[in-house]
Structure 1
């Protein structure tokens, strides 16, 4: 498949009182056109920060190095004007909490149609397109709901409005940051099915940020696993989840309750997740790793191909695979 987004050696430094903190370090992966790539890891692993770096919405003072290529555009060096032109039309984002992301003082229809109004389209055309999009995402009585304010919608409907806003211009890339976290299980399933349907219809690629392995197993074609701001493993989602090549991925899989039974978590991941500001020397996962050897404490493992299409940043990856 053609590569839509190429990320190579991406690092992000954020300002802090004691000096810059590297929250993302040497992250590399591709997003092929028309596919879903899952970005997974514990809280604080750098998932959202990676997505924000792609779309250019990092906090003020952030320093980005490395490469992010979208089509033929270098997003790291293209400038804010070019990024603004791409956002909405070619790239869009679905945020985790729609109530915090939607403007409480503006009607839903106005917010969904903002991208189209920016292009100078006639008001009647924008309204027609907004109502059609609200209908496509499953919002009942779309013409009436377009006049509602965010607080007048349920959590599920607000998330659908966010999806409509992200998809209305037919972007090539959608960044979805935990789009179902605040929803109950039945609504989650409907929203994920809707996202997949719209992605196929529009031919969009999607970067799905989540900590939920069960969501990834149903939605993502490829998977990138992050720990303390570094890539620990990447490959086809079905292969990574069924036969991990890194102890961290293996521990994540073991910590998820069985999907077809109602058992409690039998094997939780031990220890506390490392944070970038206090990242251990060597492999950041070594304090929690049952396979750690002496060099794991001193040498940062490189991300290497350990099987066809399988990449792991582990000195002992072959032992994990056996």
Structure 2
């Protein structure tokens, strides 16, 4: 791994038992992130709230620039500390936003694993994949004679063929799918309870995407993991996620059970995303292109950020920011006209 990532990962240690499946494991409440933009600053993540339950997959979806990755990376302290200005990130019963740097280094890897979007950029090009995975284990105190055996087990666990040969190769000698499997092996090395996967299939062909998603789903079930999956691809979410959080311009537009949100959206943005993917949409066999460009979080329009692209926009939408509200049991929407979205 790169120095930034490898230095923050430690090996597992005995800890509290994981919550029962379906129980809250992680809660993000009113998260706010402020970043510089030229001579000024902007609130790029604005009061974002969601939860990840034990044994379930929560998806963060939206177009590029919606704030998905930034929200996910803030959970494990991979943003500058001064950027996160308010909110809570409760891991079990502990607020990670107020945790000391030493404690965050313990959480990353041992309790929460991270799979980065571009494995070729995240992996160290001058170290073999076996050495990079082994570094995580050595940092946790594993005896050197045990490290290679454990690395081989991890490579085999994520479906890399001939692990005894692949353990000594460099990242550039592997295909994109194999590199992503190495990243998954590194995330598993700490035996975490939660894995954050940031666009893990973006650069892969369709067949390899399916294999990686199947691997993540199998690992979640067999290792009793929770998964926070970041993706712009609704087809990915339709196949993998239990719950979804739809983000737009740094805010939550809608959240709820994945199947219900994708099949019966209660926000015009979610409906537009679903109708843009025929395999997801239940209302049309023909894709309907999403009109307009995504809003810039640094320059959000007044009122609802989606209103310049919304066919339901009214005067109220142009002046009043909608509150995320429960529109039916377990379903939340930040739309003034959520009850009218269903056809």
TM tier, shorter chain?
over 0.9
Residue 193 (structure 1) aligned with residue 214 (structure 2): yes
Residue 240 (structure 1) aligned with residue 258 (structure 2): no
* Closer/same/farther in 2, CA of residues 239 and 259 from structure 1, 3 Å limit: closer
| Number of the residue aligned with 1:106 | 127
| Number of the residue aligned with 2:69 | 48
1:160 to 176, 181, 196: 181
Shift of 1:116: 1.5
Q: Contact (CA 8 Å) 1:15, 1:61: kept in 2 or not? A: no
Residue 224 (structure 1) aligned with residue 245 (structure 2): yes
Residue 178 (structure 1) aligned with residue 199 (structure 2): yes
Rounded Cα–Cα distance in structure 2 between residues aligned with 1:259 and 1:5: 28
- 1:231-290 alpha-carbon deviations (Å, 9 max, x no partner): 000000000000000000000001113369xx9963100011001011111100001111
Shift of 1:61: 4.6
Rounded Cα–Cα distance in structure 2 between residues aligned with 1:69 and 1:143: 40
Query: Helix, strand or coil for the counterpart of 2:274?
Result: helix
Query: Helix, strand or coil for the counterpart of 2:110?
Result: coil
Q: What is the TM-score normalised by the length of structure 2? A: 0.90
Rounded Cα–Cα distance in structure 2 between residues aligned with 1:91 and 1:245: 32
* Closer/same/farther in 2, CA of residues 259 and 11 from structure 1, 3 Å limit: closer
1:269 to 267, 272, 290: 290
Q: Contact (CA 8 Å) 1:64, 1:76: kept in 2 or not? A: no
| Number of the residue aligned with 2:18 | none
| Number of the residue aligned with 2:161 | 140
Q: What is the TM-score normalised by the length of structure 1? A: 0.96
* Closer/same/farther in 2, CA of residues 60 and 17 from structure 1, 3 Å limit: farther
Q: Contact (CA 8 Å) 1:170, 1:204: kept in 2 or not? A: no
Unaligned segments of structure 2, at least 5 residues: 1-21
Aligned length: 320
Rounded Cα–Cα distance in structure 1 between residues aligned with 2:218 and 2:297: 36
- Point out the more displaced range, 36-45 or 139-148: 139-148
| Number of the residue aligned with 1:23 | 44
Shift of 1:17: 2.2
| Number of the residue aligned with 2:9 | none
| Number of the residue aligned with 2:334 | 313
| Number of the residue aligned with 2:111 | 90
Shift of 1:293: 0.9
Query: Helix, strand or coil for the counterpart of 1:241?
Result: helix
| Number of the residue aligned with 1:292 | 313
Unaligned segments of structure 1, at least 5 residues: none
